């Protein structure tokens, strides 16, 4: 593998090879090199947000735009020392096919960026705001404990974020404007499809990774309020200590200590962001097309529909 082709100027020595993973070699990067690299990257200097702001329109309606305009940044800032600069770590991961002709090899790519970089830069692939930080081996089909192995591999990649002291002076990093700041890298968001969310949150398949809505509850007709029933890691931790496994099972939570509960100022059940590819295109749009196709076929008008559709100029 040409790791040197993937280095973003960080050098080959930023990669660590870990053979202790059960499904093959895990390659990952030293996060304490990658995150300061993004913080100090000169091309992003004019496109950075370091402090929380509150924006409003002329009718004094609040506007949400960049990550630092949201409540999360304000709430988190209040829990850190006065001069702290928050560095929100955003992860993205998905299974990717490596080859078509030599045995269908897959790997699980793990990318990372920081919420200080403005979203128009993050959305432009040429700006390289996302750094590849992990190549997690995919297990063969039918293997056992896939989620457990993947969860531990993800924890290995992110392990340097786990022991941050939020009452201490933080990490003194150079910023692109030439100043040094007290930085606090915090796991803040994750972009991933449903299997990734289930794996990271360690909830049973079919459960909501964010709230405790019962499995199979009718969509849109339930009196259930997601905001009042958000998942709470402190409650689950207590239930686990009391060995109350039945309650955890009812709530769809795996009876193990989720490693992300230990991350400072991180709520593993609130990491999830809207993912255009999986939720809108492969989720809603694909589902609606299936429904439409079934409807047209049942009424024997699919050909008529096709003809009309193709004749649209
Ligand atoms: Zn929910």
Rounded Cα distance, 60 and 154, in Å: 42
Comparing 99 with 106, the larger pLDDT belongs to 106
Same domain? For 126 and 239 the reply is no
Give 135 Cα–ligand 1 centroid separation in angstroms: 30
What confidence category does residue 222 fall into, taking pLDDT thresholds of 50, 70 and 90? low
Same domain? For 40 and 153 the reply is yes
Q: Is residue 125 part of a domain?
A: yes
Same domain? For 238 and 267 the reply is no
Alpha helices in the chain (DSSP H): 31-40, 71-77, 119-122, 146-157, 159-162, 194-201, 233-241, 245-250, 286-298, 302-310
Give 226 Cα–ligand 1 centroid separation in angstroms: 6
Give 158 Cα–ligand 1 centroid separation in angstroms: 26
Asked whether residue 5 carries a pLDDT value surpassing 90, the answer given is: no
Rounded Cα distance, 226 and 268, in Å: 16
Same domain? For 115 and 220 the reply is no
- The pLDDT, as a whole number, for residue 102 is 62
Give 247 Cα–ligand 1 centroid separation in angstroms: 18
Same domain? For 160 and 267 the reply is yes
pLDDT tens sequence across 25-75 = 899 998 988 999 999 988 888 899 999 999 999 999 999 999 999 999 999
Same domain? For 191 and 268 the reply is yes
Give 94 Cα–ligand 1 centroid separation in angstroms: 21
Same domain? For 81 and 120 the reply is yes
Give 225 Cα–ligand 1 centroid separation in angstroms: 9
Same domain? For 266 and 252 the reply is no
Which residues span the domain enclosing 298?
A: 285-313
Same domain? For 153 and 231 the reply is no
Tell me which residue of 68, 47, 166, 52 sits closest to 118, measured CA to CA: 47
Q: Is residue 279 part of a domain?
A: no
Same domain? For 151 and 293 the reply is no
Global pTM reads: 0.84
Same domain? For 53 and 19 the reply is yes
Asked whether residue 103 carries a pLDDT value surpassing 70, the answer given is: no
Query: Could you give the number of structural domains in the chain?
Result: 3
If you write DSSP's letter for every residue of 148-205 in order, what string do you get? HHHHHHHHHHTHHHHT--SSS--EEEE-TTS-EEEEEEEEEEEE--HHHHHHHHTB-T
Q: Write the burial class of residue 281 (CB in 10 Å: 0-12 exposed, 13-18 middle, 19+ buried).
A: exposed
pLDDT tens sequence across 246-284 = 999 999 999 999 999 999 999 999 998 877 777 788 878
Same domain? For 293 and 184 the reply is no
- The pLDDT, as a whole number, for residue 229 is 82
- The pLDDT, as a whole number, for residue 1 is 46
| Coil vs helix vs strand at 133 | strand
Average pLDDT of the chain is 87
Q: Is residue 35 part of a domain?
A: yes
| Coil vs helix vs strand at 71 | helix
Q: Is residue 60 part of a domain?
A: yes
The mean per-residue pLDDT over the stretch 123-148 comes to 84
Give 291 Cα–ligand 1 centroid separation in angstroms: 24
∠ CA(287), CA(289), CA(295), 5° rounding?
105
User: Which residues lie at CB < 5 A from ion ligand 1?
Assistant: 208, 210-211, 213, 226
């Amino acid at each position: 593998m040409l790791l040197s082709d993937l280095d973003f100027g960080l050098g080959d020595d930023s990669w660590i090879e870990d053979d202790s993973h059960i499904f093959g070699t895990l390659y990952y990067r030293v996060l304490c090199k990658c995150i300061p690299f993004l913080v100090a990257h000169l091309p992003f200097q004019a496109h950075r947000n370091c402090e929380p702001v509150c924006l409003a329109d002329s009718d004094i309606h609040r506007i949400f735009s960049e990550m630092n305009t949201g409540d999360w940044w304000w709430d988190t800032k209040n829990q850190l020392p006065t001069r702290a600069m928050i560095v929100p770590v955003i992860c993205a991961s998905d299974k990717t096919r490596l080859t078509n002709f030599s045995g269908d090899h897959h790997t699980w790519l793990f990318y990372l960026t920081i919420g200080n970089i403005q979203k128009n830069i993050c959305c432009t692939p040429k700006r390289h705001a996302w750094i590849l930080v992990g190549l997690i081996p995919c297990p063969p089909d039918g293997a056992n404990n896939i989620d457990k192995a993947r969860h531990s591999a993800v924890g290995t990649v992110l392990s340097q974020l786990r022991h941050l002291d939020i009452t201490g002076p933080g990490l003194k990093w150079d910023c692109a404007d030439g100043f040094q700041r007290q930085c606090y890298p915090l796991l803040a968001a994750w972009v991933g499809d449903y299997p990734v969310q289930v794996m990271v949150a360690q909830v049973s398949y079919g459960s909501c990774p964010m709230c405790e809505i019962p499995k199979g509850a009718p969509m849109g007709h339930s009196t259930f309020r997601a905001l009042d029933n958000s998942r709470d890691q402190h409650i689950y931790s207590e239930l686990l200590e009391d060995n109350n496994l039945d309650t955890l099972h009812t709530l769809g939570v795996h009876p193990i200590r989720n490693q992300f509960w230990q991350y400072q100022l991180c709520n593993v059940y609130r990491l999830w962001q809207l993912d255009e590819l999986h939720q809108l295109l492969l989720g809603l749009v694909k589902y609606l097309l299936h429904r439409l196709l079934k409807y047209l076929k049942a009424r024997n008008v699919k050909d008529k529909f096709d003809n009309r559709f193709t004749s649209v100029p």
